[in-house]
Structure 1
Amino acid sequence: MLILSRKLNEKIKIGNDITLTIIEVRGDQVKIGVEAPKHVKVFRQEVFEAIQDENRAAAVSARDDLSVLSGFIGQ
């Protein structure tokens, strides 16, 4: 993990297309602006994990549905 220190309005570049800007620092909270191309999805970690959990649950459900349906094909 790379750890960087930045001050208000300073930026971090990730590759050629992504820029992080420190917008506000208040107590233990930091607001960060993210500039990225539209095809790059940007999520907070907890939102990303919730999406992954939902995707896994949907995949299991779809697999179960398919196995039930495959039982009808042989009849």
Structure 2
Amino acid sequence: MLILSRKKGEAVMIGEDIEIMISNVEGDIVKIGINAPKSISVYRKEVYESIQKSNREAVDSQISTSDLVGMLKKGENRIK
């Protein structure tokens, strides 16, 4: 892990096209701005972890095609 000190208005570059700038510092709150290409997703860590958890749960709860066909034939409209 690289740890850097930056002041308000200073920035860090990641590669050639990602810039992280310190926008404001108030007490123990640091506001950062991130300039990155639209092709790169940027999430707060807790949001990213929630997305990953939801993706794992979706994979774990997949039903087989034959089970889905059977449910549709029975008229069930809810997947558990």
Report the TM-score range of the alignment, normalised by the length of the smaller protein. Answer: 0.7 to 0.9
- Equivalence for 1:57: 57
Displaced runs of 4 or more, over 4 A: none
| Structure in which a larger fraction of residues adopt helix | 1
TM-score, normalised via structure 2 length: 0.81
Structure 1: where are the runs of 5+ without partners?
Answer: none
Quote the RMSD (CA, aligned, Å): 1.6
Percent identity (aligned): 49
Q: 1:40-70, CA deviations, whole angstroms, 9 ceiling, x for partnerless residues?
A: 00001100000000000000111xx117628
TM-score, normalised via structure 1 length: 0.86
Q: SS of 2:32's equivalent?
A: strand
- Equivalence for 1:66: 64
- Equivalence for 1:45: 45
Aligned residues: 69
Cα distance in 1 for residues equivalent to 2:17 and 2:10:
17
Match runs of 1:12-51 below 5 Å: 12-51=12-51
